[in-house]
Amino acid sequence: MKILVPVKRVIDYNVKVRVKADGTGVDLANVKMSMNPFDEIAVEEAMRLKEGGKATEVVAVSCGVTACQETLRTAMAIGADRSILVESDVELQPLAVAKLLAAVAKKEAPQLIILGKQAIDDDSNQTGQMLAALLGWSQATFASKVVIGEGKATVTREIDGGLETLEITLPAIVTTDLRLNEPRYATLPNIMKAKKKPLEVVKPADLGVDVAPRLSTVSVAEPPKRSAGIRVADVAALVDKLKNEAKVIA
Amino acid sequence: MSSYVAPLKDMMFVLTELAGLDKVAALPGYEEATTDVVEAILDESAKFTGGVLDPLNWSGDQEGAKWADKAVTMPKGFKEAYAQFVDNGWNALGGNPEFGGQGLPKVVSAAVQEMWKSANMSFSLCPLLTLGAIEALELAGSDEQKAMYLPNMISGKWTGTMNITEPQAGSDLAAIRSRAVPQGDGTYRIFGQKIFITYGDHDMAENTIHLVLARTPDAPEGVKGISLFVVPKFLVNADGSLGERNDAYCVSIEHKLGIHASPTCVMVHGDNGGAIGTLVGKENEGLKYMFVMMNAARFAVGLEGLAVTERAYQHAVAYARDRVQGRAIEGSPAPVAIIRHPDIRRMLMLMRSHVEAMRALAYAVAAAHDASHRHPDAAQRAQNQAFVDLMIPVVKGWSTETGNAMSYLGVQIHGGMGFVEETGAAQYMRDARITTIYEGTTGIQANDLMGRKIAREGGATAKAVIAMMRVTQQEVAAQPGVAFAAIAAALGRGIDAVGEATDHIVANYGKDVRAVAAGAVPFLKLMGNVAGGWMMARASLVAQAKISGGDADPFYPAKIATARFYAEHVMAAAPGLARVVVDAGNSALELDESMF
């Protein structure tokens, strides 16, 4: 079984995000970028399936600028066998990414696509679902456990108020939640080997996909700053303010 | 408690722009050390050290290593962390590929090791000692010894130690008394007590390989009669499996000011018939091998000074941003975070500028080390080796003295909260304290610098380095702007100071060695101070070139500002240090011994 793992290059989770002065977006100049943490979980899950004898090949794929090659090298350092970069300087929105991934999936014919439930930069939580719809495959989102059987997968997913277990037929899409696994650290020998693993670069046009953005960003702003506190005279005044101003108690 | 975030940006800047990573990668055998691969390595190392080693630093300090029944138990979590460290291949980073190492250059391992040391100095001492033992075995071990020990030591499956010090033989190794009695079968039985043996025993690895200095029965007195032996904790069978427990035991561990998680062992060899060992290299040549190994260890301890400063700085910055206390000196409507106060800012800048200067100097020396081993041109190899030899005592002595001064400032920035242990600032200061002592005290480094590295060769290498500094100074002086004017002026005075002090040493070492030696440590500090300023000046030139080329990264203006701060606040001391070296030696010796 072949597993396709889409990985996104995002602003590193350690970086304090700054909004550009003109409010058009987040300042990414000279900022450390890393693999989306949910996608790290996806790569880890694919590796565990391979190590458990369920998968034979793990292919990482990323869509975006040339520098996404670093993210793919990271995936290969964790253990992916090879990778594909769909290179584009255009801002790629979830629908465009889903279309690109669908085109790659048709070419590669994997039995399973595992990807993060969302990316920590835009928090869209759309790509996996759109991809399943475009391909007409089963989907199981927010997975916290994946068990592969004959031609199917049993996926435990995190839902409001508990866990739900689904059985889906392969090929299928699985999106990862935080508790699916704890990603490993790449080993030094694997980091060295990653440089020598194959990395194919294709363009959206090669895949026949129009990636033009369908959404436009109106403005981006920092969250409002917390305003200074006030001193109240007594408990009665505090209760009054909580009731009538903050409206947090009835 | 702040968490350690490896300063990847400055590390990569120093590697690529100041240490010449591209030139190192052009050396035979180092072809894999390209910028993208090195960046990927440092990235993963940053994750590992931040995620695995750093969280054990404080708990390891509080719990400490424990001793009972001739065996050491490490603090909670260390065993698992070490297993992961070994499994992930970090111990093998610089190891010889012939024995399973990754064969990466020293300049890369310097950056990775800085992270181990910043994240958890106590932990880092285990691989430090293993790497030293590997170096000694590679240098002088027989093919059989190498085959038996090196693969498992390079992987980290087995750890190594250096059994050098004895109660009466600390800085003076001539006084070593441990005995080695030949058994006639090629092995020796070792008898004697060794103290201060770092990681002499622990529960993180299945075997520990001790390298032990001892005297054979007919050995001459003094330093010329010391031989080096390899003594495994468990004897190794011909098939590589572990055999009998050897007669080498840890009989107690020290209670120390710092590095609590690093077991400092008293080792007793031969209380039950003799510890079985084999000779490394030739009889009576042990000290010679040990000194080669010691140069690597001295460099590594120098990195500790840098690493502890980085960690203390990160901790202090986090506190200074968070702690609100007092209004701004110029007036403010409400109390402000202490990072607003000018004196706090000054202390943070001292920490920051020193860490950048120390990093640049250490990595530059590591790159020179790589060139001294692998450069195809013999003259280049020799020139680089001379630079390394001159700078090792500076990296060791100056960086560790600076690490102490800077971790002291880390506590100071915390105020009263720094004096209580719970904030964690004090641990860096306590851990730093050993660094100016082990692997040769600052005084010993300074004597080495002044005597062996300068006076013995008439100051030839020092003068060549001074000439290189002057070229940088002229480039800086040619740049427009007040920052470069300040850097050029301070660096110019600093170079003059080093030049004058060097001339004084060369001229007077033979005539009045006691007076010159009394100025040895001030001279070492002067050398470190100005060499660091030279590196910061080089960094500022690179930064300016990037800015002129249209790079808008705020890292570059910050680099120039930090270089200027270093010039004005740190290098300003250089002429004064030269005065101490040149004028003040006799006053240190004037009082008669009976007056003390």
Contacts of B344 (CB under 8 A, 6+ apart): B320, B338, B413
User: What is the number of other CB atoms lying within 10 angstroms of the CB of residue B48?
Assistant: 25
Matching residue, tokens 């590193």: A12
Q: What distances in angstroms separate CA A203 from CA A33, A66, A84, B106, one per listed residue? A: 22, 11, 10, 40
Size of interface A-B (CB pairs under 8 A): 55
| pLDDT reported for residue B2 | 84
Helix (H, G, I), strand (E, B) or coil at B150: helix
Nearest to B89 among A32, A189, A228 (CB): A189
Beta-carbon count within 10 A of B253 CB: 20
- Residues in chain B where the model's pLDDT stays below 50: none
Residues 6+ away with beta carbon under 8 Å from B478: none
CA–CA dist B208, B190 (Å, integer)? 16
pLDDT of residue B468: 98
pLDDT 10s digits, A30-88? 899 999 999 999 999 999 999 999 999 999 999 999 999 999 999 999 999 999 999 99
Interface test with chain B among A44, A185, A230, A231, by most B beta carbons within 10 Å: A185
Q: CA B322, CA B345: separation in Å to the nearest integer? A: 14
A74 and B36 within 8 Å at the Cβ level: the answer is no
Distance of CA B469 to the CA centre of its chain: 23
- Check B37 against A192: CB less than 8 A apart: yes
B-chain residues near A228 (CB < 8 A) = 334
Structure tokens at A66: 């040339």
Burial class (CB in 10 A: 0-12, 13-18, 19+), B377: exposed
Distance, in angstroms, between A21 CA and closest chain B CA?
15
Exposed (0-12), middle (13-18) or buried (19+): which is B573, by Cβ within 10 Å?
middle
- Is B439 a residue of the active site? yes
Identify the contact set of chain A against chain B, taking CB-CB distances under 8 A: 14, 29-30, 32, 34, 70, 73-74, 77, 185-189, 191-192, 194-195, 228
User: Is B40 in contact with A73 (Cβ distance < 8 A)?
Assistant: yes
Nearest alpha carbon to residue A110 among A4, A8, A11: A4
Distance CA A244, CA A241 (A): 5
Q: How far is B88 from chain A (nearest CA, A)?
A: 4
Across the interface, whether the CB atoms of B37 and A187 are under 8 A apart is answered: no
3-state helix vs strand vs coil in chain A, percent to 5? 30, 25, 45
Contact flag B40-A30 (C-beta cutoff 8 Å):
no
Q: For tokens 């040149």, what's the residue?
A: B582
Q: Which residues of A touch B37 (CB under 8 A)?
A: 191-192, 195
How many residues does this entry show for chain A? 250
Measured between alpha carbons, how far is B54 from B336 in angstroms, rounded to an integer?
Answer: 30
What pLDDT does B527 receive? 98
- A13 secondary structure, DSSP code: T
DSSP string, A72-130: HHHHHHHT-SEEEEEE--SPPPHHHHHHHHHHHHHHH--SEEEEESS-TTT----HHHH
**Cβ proximity of B167 and B132 under 8 Å:** no
Enter the ipTM.
0.90
Model pLDDT, residue B526:
98
**Angle in degrees, 0-180, between the axes of helices B342-374 and B106-119, rounded to the nearest 10:** 140
Cβ–Cβ < 8 Å for A63, A206? no
Instruction: At A236, give phi and psi (nearest 5°).
Output: -60, -40
- Selecting among B356, B439, B475, B590, the annotated active-site residue is B439
Q: What is the pLDDT of residue A245?
A: 87
Question: With a cut of 70, which residues of chain A have pLDDT below it?
Answer: none
Task: Say how far apart CA B570 and CA B563 lie, in whole Å.
Answer: 10
| pLDDT value of position B58 | 97
Q: CA angle, B191 as apex, B190 and B195 as ends, to 5°? A: 105
- Picking from A14, A29, A73, the nearest residue to B5 by CB comes out as A14
Contact across the interface for B553 and A29, Cβ inside 8 Å: yes
Concatenating the DSSP letter of every residue in B258-284 gives S-TTS-EEEEEE-TTS-EEEEEESSTT
Contact B412, B418 (CB under 8 A): yes
